[in-house]
Amino acid sequence: MPELIINGPVGRIEARYHHAEATDSPIALILHPHPQFGGTMNNQVVYSLYHTFVARGFSVLRFNFRGVGRSQGYWDGGPGELADAASALDWLQSVKPDSQRCWIAGVSFGTWIAMQLLMRRPEVDGFLCIAPPSNLYDFSFLAPCPSSGLMLNGDRDRVVPSSSVAELTAKLKTQKGIKIDHEIVPGANHFFEDKVDEMEKIVGSYLDMRMSQAAEEGDKKKEIKGRR
């Protein structure tokens, strides 16, 4: 888990990166919670997601938004943080140019940035939204949501009610060809205190399912090409 400094829009971006040996390994970018409320790339949920991807052969990058840790710049309320995320994804793609799969994950505020990045980057195949603040931020830009993914929250979240996440998920499910799953972790609050293991099991199972589907699709495409 080597320390890393990436060139960002307003200076250096502090990051941590796991490099998978396979040249065509899938890649994943993870975005942390709100910087003004203590969110960093070392948040326990971010850390858990990082290792969940690593365990499945991904090359994974997590980083600090501007003004957090050793990242330069100042809090920008969203636009600047989105620019940081775009720069981080550019860097990840540059070191893994042969990757066939790209995922993005966010935690709380990080989900709002992640989904905006998703709308701008058609190469993103899937997403994980952990405790998406659907009652605090406008997600209406997801029209339509271009990729399938998972929304996950705790049923004891006092920041974002489960009903709000369920409503957002239901709206997104109406988009043709896109499937958005919604899972709830019993007894978990907004920070998944004492429930990170339960969250990790759900996320891991979802990733395994999606990767299995992707492998089957790849085999079908090879079979079709072989017949031509």
pLDDT at 143: 87
Q: At what angle do helices 109-120 and 79-95 cross, to 10 degrees?
A: 60
User: In this predicted model, what pLDDT tens digit does every residue of 169-196 receive, in sequence order?
Assistant: 998 877 788 999 999 999 999 999 999 9
* d(C-alpha 17, C-alpha 5), whole Å: 10
The pTM score is: 0.95
Both tokens assigned to 114: 């992640």
Supply angle C-alpha 184, 113, 32, rounded to 5.
65
- 3-227: which CATH topology? Rossmann fold (3.40.50)
Mean pLDDT over residues 74-91, rounded? 98
Instruction: Name residue, tokens 């992707």.
Output: 214
Both tokens assigned to 80: 């600047």
What is the longest distance spanned by two Cα atoms in the chain? 56
Strands 59-63 and 11-18: antiparallel
pLDDT at 3: 82
Strands 3-8 and 102-107: unpaired
- pLDDT over 90 (residue 217): no
Sheet with strand 59-63: strands edge to edge: 3-8, 11-18, 59-63, 27-31, 102-107, 126-130, 148-154, 180-185
pLDDT at 109: 98
Both tokens assigned to 126: 């899937």
Mean pLDDT over residues 19-29, rounded? 96
DSSP state of 40: -
**CA-based radius of gyration for the chain:** 17
- pLDDT over 90 (residue 204): yes
Please state, for a pLDDT cut of 90, what percent of the chain lies above it. 88
Contact 196, 45 (CB under 8 A): yes
pLDDT at 175: 78
pLDDT, the chain, mean? 94
User: In this predicted model, what pLDDT tens digit does every residue of 25-57 receive, in sequence order?
Assistant: 999 999 999 999 999 999 999 999 999 999 999
Least confident of 99-103, 178-182, 222-226: 222-226
Three-class secondary structure of residue 48 per DSSP:
helix
Q: How many CB atoms lie within 10 A of CB 64?
A: 23
Instruction: Name residue, tokens 């709308």.
Output: 119
* pLDDT tier at 223, thresholds 50, 70, 90: low
- pLDDT over 70 (residue 23): yes
- pLDDT over 80 (residue 218): no
What are the distances in angstroms from CA 188 to CA 46, 70, 134, 169?
16, 31, 17, 19
User: In this predicted model, what pLDDT tens digit does every residue of 123-166 receive, in sequence order?
Assistant: 999 999 999 999 999 999 998 899 999 999 999 999 999 999 99
Domain-wise residue ranges, the chain: 3-227
